[in-house]
Amino acid sequence: LCLNFLQLLSSRLRNNNKVVCEEEYHIRCIEENAKADSLTGLHNRRWLEEMYTRELKRSNEGDFHLSAFMLDIDHFKNVNDTYGHLAGDQVLISVAQTLTRSLRPSDMPVRYGGEEFTVFLPGTSTKNAKIIAERIRRDMENLSISLSDGNIIQVTVSIGFAERVDNDTVASLIDRADKA
């Protein structure tokens, strides 16, 4: 009787552990998805708040260089008005992919909203940020986006950047990059 009881109890315990592990996995997936932009696959502003704050703190404490970009797709409203919102979505996806390819693995791109993107560049001075910004601008200028209807769209981007200064917050650094 005791042996059957122990077998039953251990079986239930294994099943409960399996359910808990599966639920924890699903919760982690949901949390990760909540921090990603579903259209472009880049991180979103929720992720930005957490990671950019952490990176800014690290930069301040170690007195490391840290630069930030704000990137806008030029005349994006015209794309939506001329070709439609599905074409606009394709432009956003292509720009996000090109941006990611143009950056280093340590850089942190985020879809900020609409046609705006931001990037934190850890360990990057103004001099190096200019080089990276020019590479991104050139790669975007050379981008040809083929639409399903056969049209090809070319886009350009405007990029502003700023380097971290003492007492910067995430918002102040992004704001200075945006104004630049």
Rounded to 10 degrees, what is the CA torsion of 6, 8, 9, 15? 140
Distance CA 71, CA 47 (A): 18
Distance CA 139, CA 98 (A): 7
Out of 61, 115, 116, 141, the active site residue is: 115
In a 13 Å sphere around the CA of 164, the CA atoms on its Cβ side amount to 26
Residues 6+ apart with CB under 8 A from 157: 71, 72, 73, 74, 95, 136, 137, 140
Q: Confirm if 135 and 70 have CB atoms less than 8 A apart.
A: no
Residue 23 annotated among the catalytic residues of the structure? no
Q: 3: exposed, middle or buried (C-beta count within 10 Å: 0-12, 13-18, 19+)?
A: exposed
Question: Which residues carry out catalysis?
Answer: 115
